[in-house]
Amino acid sequence: MKRLLVVAAAIVASAVFVPVQAEAKSRGDLVVIGDSISDPVFFKGRGGDPAKMWWAKLGRKTHTTPRVYAERGSGYTKPGKCRTTTIGQRITKRSIAKRIRAAQIVVVAAGVNDFSRCVFRPDRTHYQKETTAEELDKAIETTFNDLDRGIAKNSRVIITAPYGSRPSLRPYRERLVQSLVSHAKKHRFQYVDTAHGTIWGKARAKDRVHPTAVGMQRMYREIYTSSNLRRRFP
């Protein structure tokens, strides 16, 4: 019997089921909270195969069932395209929080969009404004506090910030990484670096932000081999 990857599609609130090869019985859920880099609809739209995305590979390696909640353009400070939810809002949404509570592995893979935030006018139109270091740090702190309250004691939490090499985004990368590392340490989450070199060179798409199939393989390899997952899920 084939196991299914269960994916919550970005922007639209429907589920996408991506069948993969038959595998051993699942050990539990792998919950992924992310942006377009983890969005199967976005990757497929660019000619990619969702079964070859980093979280699909990780699910097969760890024998867990991926449940992906990824929204294009979203981050810790920014709702997806200023229309959907932030990372923190997804984590505290009742249906997703229930999945997180039962998950074996939780991976938060986000941050590249947090160079700016959405500012809403009274008429609900909006514009984007550069995010300050203080605003970003506060959003990450709040998100990690909520996540820590929602996980099971035996869950493995991985924090990462997949980041391409687009020149305009480089100035924001280090402050993001520093904040993630600091707050992950406080909560005993494990930070894995995918912000420096993982989605560079042949691993990056033409936009210098999103990964190619090579980039997906590198992300999977970094997250698995550089974390404690390698010991717990050999």
Whether 108 contacts 183, CB under 8 Å = no
Q: Is the pLDDT of residue 22 over 70?
A: no
Query: Is the CATH number 3.40.50.1110 carried by domain 4-232?
Result: yes
Q: pLDDT digits over 165-216, tens only?
A: 888 888 899 999 999 999 999 999 999 999 999 999 999 888 888 999 999 9
* Burial environment of residue 192 by CB neighbours within 10 A (0 to 12, 13 to 18, 19 or more): buried
224 band by pLDDT with thresholds 50, 70 and 90: very high
Q: pLDDT digits over 34-93, tens only?
A: 999 999 999 999 999 999 999 999 999 999 999 999 999 999 999 999 999 999 999 999
* Burial environment of residue 81 by CB neighbours within 10 A (0 to 12, 13 to 18, 19 or more): middle
CA angle 123, 74, 218 (to 5 degrees): 165
